[in-house]
A and B are shown apart, each in its own frame.
Chain A
Amino acid sequence: MNPLIFTTILMTVLLGTMIVMTSSHWLMIWIGFEMNLLAIIPILMKKYNPRTMEASTKYFLTQATASMLLMMAIIINLMHSGQWTITKVFNPTASIIMTSALAMKLGLTPFHFWVPEVTQGISLTSGLILLTWQKLAPMSILYQISPSINLNILLTMAVLSILVGGWGGLNQTQLRKIMAYSSIAHMGWMTAVLVYNPTLTMLNMLIYIMMTLTMFMLFIHSSSTTTLSLSHTWNKTPLTTTLILITLLSMGGLPPLSGFMPKWMIIQELTKNSSIILPTLMAIMALLNLYFYMRLTYSTSLTMFPSTNNMKMKWQFETKRITLLPPLIVMSSLLLPLTPMLSILD
């Protein structure tokens, strides 16, 4: 793609999310979502093969439907409260419709079906933008309307998302689909605590973005999109096998690493609000997630995965220079002692 046009389109994606996050008028928020959607389509379609075109079409259809539902909720809110400012959504019908629209944009169950298919059909860099940057805008709106969200609907969607994200990722060997299911599960964790303490949602989003960024960059660095291809990294750069191990365990939420911080805080917040069964279920279902991360680490760093002899040498392409990879890796694994700094997110 022409670099000037690519830069313009990328800046429009950023502008769209910024407009969503900083507007106080519902119409501007909708405009921001539409601008974001419009501009990310050519980014998803960077290579012109039928796979990417199908993936971007699916993405466009689901997100456009979600924008339409959002517009309907905005208009119902306008009818019942007579004003366009972003505060609580005063009408329960509008609140439910808006929550479903934002859940469709995030990829929560039962609207999660597009996430693995779209993520699989596009290149690794586009998938990175899809799973990290695109989650910021809907999550910021959910944060702003959190006092008026129907608790039952949101918690049902959250728990089902964690279940689907864990269970659906079990049979996958394609790395992009694994990351997609991981995204669904993390979105479930984030929205579970939204009504109780929205600051923890933001914390979880921050740490999730860091870890997903790290994982995707490690995949881009070794140009691998399948488990088999990833398992050959011991051949190319043995150091990245250890880094993949640490980051994956952090994503699974194991204690001394920073991925444990959001899960710990969320479970603590939920138990403070006297729900015991819910966080227990969520923690148990996060084990499913941990299982397929561990399977990846097993094949990548802990064993030399069996393959035929002529495949053991990986083709040495010119090493991509990935900026910020070392700091990202450090941040996504060693942030746990900084938990008391959580108060700055308020």
Chain B
Amino acid sequence: MMTYIVFILSVIFVVSFVGFSSKPSPIYGGLVLIVSGGVGCGIIMNFGGSFLGLMVFLIYLGGMLVVFGYTTAMATEQYPEVWVSNTTVMGVFLLGLLMEVMLVLYVLKGEEVGVVFKFSGVGDWAIYDTGDSGVFSEEIMGVAALYSYGAWVVIVTGWSLLVGVLVILEVTRGD
């Protein structure tokens, strides 16, 4: 099972995405986001990125999602929508689940899967430890490179976040 751990985690990832895109109440969406965040962290860690995975848990789940949970709890309604409360929501969830199950069976059975692009069966997801990149871990180097060579990206993303906040305030201000 450990060889195919990334495959299993990515299936859970997609299922939890289906869970919140079938639009239950935001609280349940947040619940499923926690699961998908944790599973995503697992996927990143399997590729060797322990720092980024921990950052997902800390900043995304422990910071942003907590604030989201509190604001949704303040703005919630008396009977929030669950997945089984509304026919539409349940229908969409089951449809997404069905499509994922069919895709998984297709991948598990066959050699090549060619939906939009080809990948050769489950083997493509197994992690092979391909050589050492020396003393340094690659992904910490990536983060370091973001702040040195990629200073322009940091400036642009920082500016977008600031403007995002301004835009949200403008839009929700009303008259």
Contact = CB atoms under 8 A, between A and B. Distances in A.
Interface string B12-38: 000000000000000000000000000
Contacts of B163: 8-9, 12, 35, 38-39
Given A9-B167, A39-B167, A41-B167, A76 B116 contact: yes
A41 B171 contact: yes
Interface in A49-105: 76, 79-80, 93
Interface of A: 1, 5, 8-9, 12, 15, 19, 28, 31, 34-35, 38-39, 41-42, 45, 48, 76, 79-80, 93
Contact of A79 (B117, B153, B174): B117
A135 to B, nearest CB: 21
A45 B156 contact: no
B123 interface: no
Contacts of A31: 153, 156-157, 160
Contact of B117 (A1, A15, A93): A93
Contacts of B116: 76, 93
B156 A28 contact: yes
Interface in B137-163: 153, 156-157, 159-160, 163
A9 B159 contact: no
Interface of B is mostly: helix
B125 to A, nearest CB: 14
Given A9-B167, A45-B171, A35 B160 contact: yes
A76 B164 contact: no
Interface string B90-107: 000000000000000000
Nearest to B116: A93
11 contacts: A5-B170, A9-B166, A28-B153, A28-B156, A31-B160, A38-B163, A42-B170, A45-B170, A45-B171, A48-B175, A93-B117
A50 B52 CA distance: 42
Nearest to B164: A38
A8 B165 CA distance: 12
Contact of A9 (B153, B156, B157, B170): B170
B167 A15 contact: no
B117 A38 contact: no
Contacts of A42: 167, 170-171
Contacts of A15: 159
A76 B156 contact: no
B136 to A, nearest CB: 22
A73 to B, nearest CB: 10
B166 A48 contact: no
A238 B166 CA distance: 43
Given A28-B156, A93-B116, 8 more contacts: A5-B170, A8-B166, A12-B159, A31-B160, A35-B160, A38-B160, A38-B163, A42-B167
A114 B93 CA distance: 28
B166 A5 contact: yes
